[in-house]
Amino acid sequence: MSDPHLTSMMENLYWWGIPTMFRCPHAGPEGADIALVGVPHSTGNGTTERDQHLGPRALRTVSAASRRMHGGFQLDTWSAASIVDVGDVPLPRANDNEACIADITDFYRKIDAAGARPVSIGGDHSITGGIVQALGNGGLTKGEKVCFLHLDAHTDVFTKVDHFLGAKKSAAHWGAYLADQGQVDPTHSMQIGLRGHARTLDWLQPSYDYGYNVVTMKEFRKRGLENVVAQTREVLGDRPVYLTFDLDCLDPTIAPGVSNLEPGEKGFDIDEAVGLLHAARGLNIVGGDVVCMMPTKDSPNQITALTAAAVMFEMISMIAENKIKTNT
């Protein structure tokens, strides 16, 4: 199609064409600034909520609708950086969580070696462990530990038992074992929005023991967005930042198609969540992920998938904006 206006219009029609993420070319990470990755993995949640592996396909289907300019940044995200969809992590042993986490790590080591910053869609939250095993102390971080900006209803720093329904490097354990392995610096990481239904009254204690900077949802409501953003920027500083966004941090009315919903206390609205993500704007973002989408629970208009795409767009845009600043 020769008319740029018509081409632009067609690129925003999610039901048309080959569904790569955000209409980006399907290619390897070599020479790219940002690598978009699907991680169709759901055995890290044990035997529960297994349809999370359908998340990458659902996001690819709708993400063209999010291929737009970033009005707030005054940025054409898609021309600011070289962005490719590298496809999905192959997981031939999909029912073996430990094998899958190892396969995820191997896949991301190649992305790290290529120098592309990965932005991923899961998959359950165990994928973050596999990804950061590759990025922590790697090339993108220049040998440094990763610092998390972690938005979630749950801590995922689980130390009470050694596995979750058979999965050792599970969706509930990565915040602990990555710190134990030396790939993450908890003392310069933020966990924001925790409001999960407590199975034990000391459910937050492991996060405190590891040194994570915790802001529960109740604390966030008292302190407000501006105050928490200021703390986040101070804690993260100029260190390598990894963004991990569990969709259950959002209120269920906004994102109903999510694993492990927590309806008993209001979650973030989308403006609050995006405002918290923007705390990392201009910082050294080495990658990010959006996890725990359940397309089989989504509403007919696919609002959860569209919301996941919107969150990914913010991550991609912040990294792309950094690329422009580096070149000027």
243 three-state secondary structure:
strand
CA distance 284 to 296: 35
pTM, two decimal places: 0.95
CA distance 154 to 164: 14
Domain ranges of the chain: 4-327
pLDDT of residue 240: 98
Instruction: List the 83-88 sheet strands across, edge first.
Output: 83-88, 34-39, 117-122, 285-291, 241-246, 147-151, 190-194, 213-216
CA distance 169 to 253: 30
What's the distance, CA 62 to chain centroid? 17
Cis peptide before 237 (omega within 30 of 0): no
Given a cut of 90, whether residue 254 has pLDDT beyond it is yes
Given a cut of 70, whether residue 48 has pLDDT beyond it is no
DSSP state of 150: E
What number is the average pLDDT over the span 42-67?
Answer: 87
- pLDDT tier at 328, thresholds 50, 70, 90: low
Which amino acid is present at 292?
A: C
Reference 125, options 188, 176, 58; nearest CA is 176
Q: Flag the least confident range among 27-36, 75-84, 114-123, 257-266.
A: 257-266
- pLDDT tier at 8, thresholds 50, 70, 90: confident
Q: Is 104 within 8 Å of 131 (Cβ atoms)?
A: yes
What is 4-327's CATH number, 1.10.760.10, 3.40.50.150, 3.40.800.10, 3.40.50.300? 3.40.800.10
